[in-house]
Amino acid sequence: MTIAIRKARSRDAGAFLLLVRALAKFEKLEPPSPSAARRLIRDTFSKEKKLNLLLAFSDGKPIAYALYFFTYSSFLARPTLYLEDIFVLQEFRRKKIGKRIFLTLVREAKRLGCGRMEWAVLAWNKNAIKFYESVGAKRLNEWHYYRLDQRALKSLSQRQVD
């Protein structure tokens, strides 16, 4: 089995969407709607791209991906590589493909002068947690993640400051 990892090209859009749908199934979530899929492709492959994408192939077949972007740390005064998704198809797990993708991202963060790399992991994904801790990642207990969904954004955007 030959594994190749590379930055995605626009012709990879269909393969990327198949992998995203497989991730949604794994996480027991609804996959992107057709309009969300179009935005995802636009934001990944257009000239004004907002996202970066690595794909892994086994003998030419797409089997894994990592979707990432950059935030910024005001205290470090350096960019942060934020890993949004890393996913390997079930039949290719336990072959160190995820680790190879992850290390590719670590090297990219170092090359770009990032002060850190961050991501979130589902609390039930024990295999991912075990992997991240095995490579020296530290769980941030002093931070709580918050989210405003689309409904909350709409409601809150209509409020006036009291």
139-147 contacts, C-beta under 8 A, 24 or more apart: 145/120
- The Cα 33–Cα 5 span in angstroms is 27
Query: What amino acid positions are annotated as catalytic residues?
Result: 132
- Average of pLDDT values for 131-145? 92
Residue of 105, 91, 98 lying closest to 128 (CA atoms): 98
Structural domains in the chain, CATH included, are: 3-157 (3.40.630.30)
| DSSP H or E run through 88 | strand 78-88
With a cut of 80, say whether residue 162 has pLDDT above it: no
**Mind listing the pLDDT tens digit for each residue in 8-48?**
999 999 999 999 999 999 999 999 999 999 999 999 999 99
With a cut of 90, say whether residue 160 has pLDDT above it: no
- pLDDT score recorded for residue 159: 84
With a cut of 80, say whether residue 134 has pLDDT above it: yes
- pLDDT score recorded for residue 161: 77
* Confidence grade of residue 107 (pLDDT, cut at 50, 70, 90): very high
**Mind listing the pLDDT tens digit for each residue in 35-85?**
999 999 999 999 998 999 999 999 999 999 999 999 999 999 999 999 999
| DSSP H or E run through 56 | strand 52-58
Residue of 16, 142, 11 lying closest to 84 (CA atoms): 16
Q: Are 16 and 65 in contact (CB under 8 A)?
A: yes
Beta bridge partners, 4, equal 57
